[in-house]
Amino acid sequence: MSKTALLFAGQGAQFVGMGNDLAAQYPTARALFDRANSALGYDLASICFNGPDAELLKTEHAQPGIYLVSWVAFQILRERVPTLKFQATAGLSLGEFTALTAAGVMDFEDGLGVVKLRGRAMQEACETTHGAMAAIIGLDEIATRELCAQADVELANLNCPGQLVISGESDKISIACELAKSRGAKRALPLPVAGAYHSRLMASAQPQLHASLAAIPLNLPAVTVVSNVTALPHGVASEIHARLVQQVTASVRWEESIRHLLAQGFTRFIELGPGTALTGFMKRIDKTVQVLNVSDVASLELTVAALSTESSAATQRDT
């Protein structure tokens, strides 16, 4: 029987209109948006649905918005496929909070509140520093670490073969991009982000996140949840707390996280939330596994059809 892992989108996946068609078609989705608005005390749903883009791009809105839309996608998939079973979850950076919520570590409103605070704290860190990020395409990890050391920037994301992201002070990122090109990188592209995520420039956000997590109950995961920091499963509540705080300045070891799941026999991955970035990463990590996604009504229908077809085939084999 296939082992299924759920993958949750991270910051950068947001787009104006995300979740709108799900809310329009499914009362459960609309109710979740309303619950989120009530819990937050402002109309996050309207920012997700209508923007403007400049407002949605703000870290303080993008992070709870992506968490919310990802959670809605998860709940609607469960509603459409009541027999859905999964044995692990993982999320890219911010998405790790949704992954932990899906595994029962925190409840929806608690997770939303923590993510709101995390987004605001990181926004403040962005505003008090001069940070930037860039994607390095076509260099391996060793070469990228060497240029990071030379330019005094940090390796922020190890997403998939040939795609790494660096983070640090803006002028140093410019130097690092030139170094990357001189060393054979196919591209070194500055990213349209507000600051230097997953670098030491985000350290000022950590005390607030630490306090916020300390104020909510954290349960043992009901299924495996892979940590961005270690690329291994989370453990007890105190460890989860520590890893989530550490994650703000640590590298996101996404490729390693996925390879851990592959080594454990996972053959089906379902991306939940806006966009299809994780699906793209998966295709570069392992083309042989099944990858589905739920971002909107159209992708939901395709995923439901794929899961229903497999379920019917399994039933026929058993009879």
* Residue 62: partners with Cβ closer than 8 Å, 6 or more residues away: 11, 14, 56, 119
Expressed as residue numbers, the domain containing 21 is 3-127+200-318
Check whether residue 213 and residue 120 sit in a common domain.
yes
Check whether residue 314 and residue 254 sit in a common domain.
yes
Domain assignment present for 195: no
In the listed set 190, 215, 239, which residue is the last one of a domain according to the structure?
190
Check whether residue 70 and residue 139 sit in a common domain.
no
Check whether residue 10 and residue 112 sit in a common domain.
yes
Domain assignment present for 277: yes
pLDDT for 199 equals: 98
Check whether residue 138 and residue 38 sit in a common domain.
no
Pairing of strands 266-272, 131-137: unpaired
Domain assignment present for 242: yes
Check whether residue 94 and residue 166 sit in a common domain.
no
Check whether residue 152 and residue 230 sit in a common domain.
no
What is the C-alpha to C-alpha distance for residues 319 and 304, in angstroms, rounded to an integer?
23
pLDDT for 91 equals: 98
Phi and psi at 135, nearest 5°, equal -90, 130
Q: Give this prediction's pTM.
A: 0.95
CATH number for the domain spanning 182: value is: 3.30.70.250
pLDDT for 306 equals: 97
Single out the catalytic residue among 61, 198, 234, 260: 198
Handedness of CA 112, 158, 73, 243 (dihedral sign): negative
Domain assignment present for 49: yes
Single out the catalytic residue among 70, 93, 227, 251: 93
Check whether residue 98 and residue 45 sit in a common domain.
yes
pLDDT for 311 equals: 62
Domain assignment present for 35: yes
Check whether residue 151 and residue 255 sit in a common domain.
no
CB-CB neighbours of 110 under 10 Å: 19
Blockwise average pLDDT, block size 10, the chain, 319 residues: 92 95 98 97 98 93 97 98 97 98 98 97 95 95 96 97 95 97 95 92 98 97 98 97 98 98 98 97 96 98 93 54
What is the C-alpha to C-alpha distance for residues 221 and 240, in angstroms, rounded to an integer?
10
pLDDT for 292 equals: 98
pLDDT for 312 equals: 57
pLDDT for 317 equals: 53
pLDDT for 193 equals: 86
How many domains, in total, are found in the chain?
2
Is 295 an annotated catalytic residue? Answer: no
To the nearest 10°, the Cα dihedral for 179, 185, 186, 189? -50
Check whether residue 24 and residue 65 sit in a common domain.
yes
Check whether residue 121 and residue 227 sit in a common domain.
yes
Domain assignment present for 100: yes
Is 130 an annotated catalytic residue? Answer: no
Check whether residue 158 and residue 60 sit in a common domain.
no
